[in-house]
Structure formats: structure tokens, C-alpha cells
Amino acid sequence: MTTVRQLLQAKNAEVWTVRPDALVYEALQMMAEKDVGALPVVEGGRVVGIFSERDYARKVVLKGKSSRTSPVREMMTARVLFVSPAETVEECMKLMTEKRVRHLPVLEEGRLVGIVSIGDAVKKVIADQQFTIEVLEKYITGGR
């Protein structure tokens, strides 16, 4: 089974963060620029929340707030679920499915080292299944 550490190494992606006092508009600009669906909210070197497209839709747009005047702190999800690099991709998928979240920050010794999305996890599981299918097909056909 693939671990989160292995997934992050293969993904080789940088983690972009936002401050809690940043404006929602600034967070949205960064999300669009970096093509990500969520940003960990970091203050004083520790993760204090996560701001996602879902937060924007439900807490800004539907409540008639302005992204140009509202700080991320007021719109972020403060109760963040985390995973460690040692956990498996399957464990992440289970957690994301059960808790209905799409992004999991990865913490190692309290330090943010990455973020895993449901898309990352699904892509890896599909790749692993495809590899297994290919190996089995070669075995069945005698390597032809």
C-alpha cells in the first residue's frame, strides 16, 4: 500500500498557504493562480484552519459577504483533519469519504509538509489498480 509520504514524493508539489488575516479575495486569487481547491491557513508556523472553494461558496457567496472585505479567519474551516506521512492513501480516502472533506493537510511532528486531495488519492488508487491488472494479464497470457 502506498503511503502519504510516497504520494507526496511522487506528486512533488509545493504547498501554498494563506494567513488568517488575508482577505478572502487574496486567497481566491492564489487558489486560481496555483490551480488548487484549498489552502491551509497558517499562523505562527502552525495550521489553524483550511480555506476551500466549499468555504467560499457556503460562507461568503450564500451569506452575501464580500470577498474583498472579509478575512479568511472568518470564513475558514477551523476544525481541520490532518494525516501523517506514514498513513496510507486508502486510509486518507476512507477519512475523506467519512468526514466529507476533499483536502487533508499532512503534518509531520507538527509541521505542515504537504496536502493530499481526494483527486490525488483517487488517481493513485486507479494507477495501482491498472498496474495490478497489467501484471495479472501478463501472468495469464504468459507474458505475451
User: Please, what is the Cα angle at 58 between 53 and 59, to 5 degrees?
Assistant: 100
pLDDT at 53 over 90: yes
Report pLDDT digits (tens) over 105-121.
999 999 999 999 999 99
Beta strands 111-117; 103-108: pairing state: antiparallel
What are the structural domains of the chain? 4-141 (3.10.580.10)
8 A C-beta contact, residue 52 and residue 44: no
Q: Average pLDDT for residues 14-39, to the nearest whole number? A: 96
Q: Virtual CA dihedral for 89, 102, 28, 33, nearest 10 degrees?
A: 30
Report pLDDT digits (tens) over 57-109.
999 888 889 999 999 999 999 999 999 999 999 999 999 999 999 999 999 99
Counting other chains too, the contacts that 136-141 makes at CB distance below 8 Å and 24 or more residues apart are none
pLDDT at 139: 85
8 A C-beta contact, residue 115 and residue 15: yes
What is the Cα 142 distance to its own chain's centre? 41
C-alpha grid cell for residue 76?
A: 475558514
Q: How confident is the model at residue 143 (pLDDT cuts 50, 70, 90)?
A: low
Q: How confident is the model at residue 131 (pLDDT cuts 50, 70, 90)?
A: confident
pLDDT at 13: 72
Three-class SS of residue 1? Answer: coil
Going by the DSSP 8-state scheme, the letter that residue 60 receives in this structure is I
